[in-house]
Amino acid sequence: MRTELDNKIIQIKSTDNKEEINRLIEDYQPFVLNVITALKKSYVDVDNDDEFSIGLMAFYEALEKYNEARGDFLSFARLVIQSRIKDYWSQQKHEYTTNLLEDAVIEENFDEKLLLRKEIEDFEKVLKSFGLTFEQLVDHTPKHIDTQKRAKKIGLQAAEQEDLMTHLYTKKRLPITQISRRFKVSLVIVKRSKITITSVMIIVKEKFSRIMEWIE
């Protein structure tokens, strides 16, 4: 069932009344702010936070794309705003992760930076073929230093085993049970560190020497 607002938006869109569209966006700034605040779970500075500007653009996008088949407008707009904010956060995290890897290289000359970035791009492509992303690698890297070291060690050991590497690349998943038995490590530990172990094995297999320096 269409609301009064839904009917108003459809009418405004049909006449392409820019003034009415701008007035509507201004009137619903508090709605945009509430959606972002609920998603972010913290205060949003409308003057300095990029999220607010992105939210307003997403609201305008929702206006442009809205039709009655999409249900009530505010529910549709909420989904568009949330989607665009999450896209922005994902991009920010990707850039942060790339910078972490770049900063890990001791040599800071320009040529080395270019070579590292190329390795990172290639690494990202291989990760994608395994259904993984940089963001997942960062999010699932064990927080405890000893646990990190153990996961990397398991990955390096597994990379030396041809059958384990073949299984990983053929099945596109880590042979958790085989690794657990062969290296006498509990299944729980391998499962919890499977993304880190997988990444290390890929780095070894693909000979990403500069990223390997970061791991070691």
Sorted by where each starts, the structural domains of the chain and their CATH numbers stand as: 4-94 (1.10.1740.10), 108-215 (no CATH)
Question: Is the entire prediction scored with pTM above 0.75?
Answer: no
pLDDT one-digit tens code per residue, 44-94: 777 777 888 888 999 998 888 887 777 788 888 899 999 888 888 877 776
Interatomic CA distance for residues 10 and 124, integer angstroms:
43
Residue whose pair of structure tokens reads 């000359």 in the numeric block: 109
What pLDDT shows up at residue 107?
45
Does 207 have pLDDT greater than 50? yes
Helix or strand (DSSP H, E) at 23: helix 18-27
What is the tally of helices (H) and strands (E) in the chain?
Answer: 13, 0
Q: What is the mean pLDDT of residues 13-18?
A: 77
Q: Which of the four pLDDT bands, split at 50, 70 and 90, describes residue 181?
A: very high
